[in-house]
Amino acid sequence: MTKLSINNVPVEVPEGSTILCAAKRAGIKIPTLCHVEGLQVIGACRVCVVEVEGARNLAGSCSMPVAEGMKVFTNTRRVREARRLVVELLLSEHNGECQTCDRNEDCELQALSAELGIREVRYGGERTRRRIDNSTPALIRDNGKCIKCRRCVSVCLETQHVGALFPQNRGFNTVIGPAFNLDLASVACVQCGQCAAICPVGAITERDEIDEVWTALDAPDKHVVVQTAPAIRAALGECFGCEPGTLVTGKMVAALRRLGFDAVFDTNFAADLTILEEGTELLTRLKKTLLDGEPAALPMFTSCSPGWIKFMEYFHPDMLPNLSSCKSPQQMFGAVAKTYYANKLGKRPEQIFVASVMPCTAKKFECQRPEMNASGVRDVDVVLTTRELGKMIRSAGIDFMGLPDEEMDAPLGLSTGAADIFANTGGVMEAALRTAHEIVTGRPLPMKNLHVEPVAGLAGVKEASLEIRGALPEWRFLEGAVLNVAVAHGLGNAQKVVAAVKSGAKQYHFVEVMTCPGGCIGGGGQPRFTTNAIRQARIAAIYREDEGKDLRKSHENPEIRQLYKEFLGQPLGEKSHHLLHTEYQTRARV
């Protein structure tokens, strides 16, 4: 431990901590526009400068390690003036347009200028040249607003191992973007939106598609249904000032009804469906290799997360057969809504409009993939992020917090607790094991509260082994088999797992991958700004939602049973194959 003083307050922190960490511990706020916990120190914005007694220059508190007896001052005249001037410089280049910016009132630069009391930008001159990149369906980049903090560069490279964004050019001409000034659609961007989630200003945002939803809601001949991903209910409240981890499922349903949706459904329904399809697929692959002795693509990787799919298509096309062929729950929902549900209403697919609310920007890309037209038309019409839904509710003048709790509509609104936990890392794995174990042995998963503890939590790569005991006659070949599973979240961690599998260092049967750190609850479309503490709060809320339900295993969902009985037949059946499964394509990197 190292003892130091900050503003004459004694603080004790572990050796090697930075001044910023120490200040946080002492309850002293030091502003920063580039620092992100868990990422390598960037040190670019210089807003976090502090005075260290005896040092000639101001120190960047995000990078300067503490030393025994150090005396730090965070609020001297020198520090205040330096911070103001640095922020003024940022404002002098920033094409702000605050009133019409997506980040109006949700902008770190705006908030910091207010906090520092900046009333005048004394330095004017050339501004950053504006170039808007709207080449992708998911993300819009506006270089004119970029303050070159490089958070996006770090998250894209370090967390996601993608590296689509880098600084280009030098000095004042620096722009952050893909190599050779290409647009985002031309490079290996998986459109996970972690950059948009971490951007302090409005330089990277999701493509705003609220108007498309309003247009559909206004069209008299459209039957507009909405599905909400499991992660929304644990985060939407944050858009209305709730503490992270507040569950707002009922209010969300009420709000969606008031916005005018004809039916409020749940992606959770499709998550349960996914478990049945994917679980069966896994067992089929296991059977093929263990019983029939034929080669099967193992480990099988989950396929719910569209960023991860694109990552595999770009970086590991040789491993595409290992991806489950199941569509993501969002796309399963769209296909079922425009066929099964449309049939029930006596409508044609094109008369149904499916809007999704997702914690994710990559879903905007996914829904427009040309193969996602199983119903004959585009299965999911528009994807909104959690943030967009928040804005839509606010713009409709709905007093969200004053809403009563309401229930989802039948039939596609009913789900089990297993579907809820799709929202967080380890959840899909746990849901799959709850069902697969019961299919194979006829008994529930022998774990406390049905939770697979080893794959829960925020460790980057988690592993578990499950020995199968008491298999039913049909699954006799699995008796005594040890099922090795792994869970990774954040593509950087996924990359590690894939590398270990490729090198033969690890032999897994089933691997869950979620593109974003923490899983969907930490998605690129969630309310900003997501920290690990917030991830944990949201995860806890999701488990509360799961545990509060009577039905907690996907195969127990009566509406799913009904769907198979009435329409699909059986998992991996012909109709399922057509509607619920997909294939992947190799994508060339630049």
Q: Bridge partners of 52?
A: 72
Shortest distance (Å) from residue 69 CB to other proteins:
17
| 200 part of the interface to other proteins, by CB under 8 A | no
Based on the residue annotation, tell me whether 281 is a catalytic residue of this protein. yes
**Half-sphere exposure of residue 163: CA atoms within 13 angstroms, side-chain side:** 9
Of 24-32, 146-154, 206-214, 239-247: span binding other proteins (CB under 8 A): 146-154
C-alpha to C-alpha distance for 77 and 11, rounded to whole angstroms: 22
User: Does 571 help bind other proteins (rule: CB under 8 A)?
Assistant: no
Query: Of these residues, 81, 371, 407, 453, which one is catalytic?
Result: 371
Residues 50-89 that bind other proteins (CB under 8 A): 56-58, 60, 63, 65, 78, 81-82, 85-86, 89
Q: Which of 93, 281, 388, 430 is catalytic?
A: 281
Of 156 and 514, nearer to other proteins (C-beta) is 156
Q: Which of 192, 242, 236, 208 is nearest to 101 (CA)?
A: 208
479 has catalytic annotation: no
- How far is C-alpha 561 from the geometric centre of its chain's CA atoms? 29
State yes or no: residue 586 binds other proteins (CB under 8 A).
Answer: no
Query: Is 81 labeled as catalytic in the residue annotation?
Result: no
Contact between 120 and other proteins by CB under 8 A: the answer reads no
Q: According to the binding rule CB under 8 A, does residue 148 interact with other proteins?
A: yes
47 lies in the site for other proteins, by CB under 8 A: yes
Q: Which of 7, 14, 133 is nearest to 65 (CA)?
A: 14
| Measured distance between the N- and C-terminal CA atoms of the chain, rounded to whole angstroms | 48
H/E run at residue 431: helix 427-441
Check the CA dihedral 576-577-578-581 and report its sign: positive
How many residues are listed for the chain in this entry? 590
Considering only residues 160 to 179 of the shown chain, the ones binding other proteins according to CB under 8 A are 166-167, 169-174
What residue has token string 């042995």?
Answer: 441
SS3 of 26, please? coil
Q: Which of 21, 22, 26, 44 binds other proteins (CB under 8 A)?
A: 44
Q: How far apart are CA 176 and CA 165, in angstroms?
A: 6
Number of residues that bind other proteins (CB under 8 A): 37
Nearer to other proteins, 68 or 126 (CB): 126
Over its C-alpha atoms, the chain yields an Rg (Å, rounded) of 25
Rounded least distance, CB 88 to other proteins, Å:
9
Q: Which of 2, 5, 7, 41 binds other proteins (CB under 8 A)?
A: 41
- How far is 4 from 68, CA to CA, in rounded Å? 6
The three-state DSSP-derived secondary structure of 501-567 is HHHCCCCCCEEEEECCCCCHHHCCCCCCCCCHHHHHHHHHHHHHHHHCCCCCCHHHCHHHHHHHHHH
By the rule CB under 8 A, 539 interacts with other proteins? no
CB of 64 to other proteins, least distance (A): 8
Site residues (CB under 8 A) for other proteins, limited to 86-115: 86, 89-90, 92-93
Region of 120-128, 225-233, 240-248, 512-520 interacting with other proteins (CB under 8 A): 120-128
Look up 304 and say whether it is catalytic. Answer: yes
Would you tell me which residues interact with other proteins (CB under 8 A)? Answer: 41, 43-47, 49, 56-58, 60, 63, 65, 78, 81-82, 85-86, 89-90, 92-93, 122-123, 125-126, 147-148, 150, 166-167, 169-174
Catalytic machinery residues: 278, 281, 304, 324, 363, 366, 371, 520
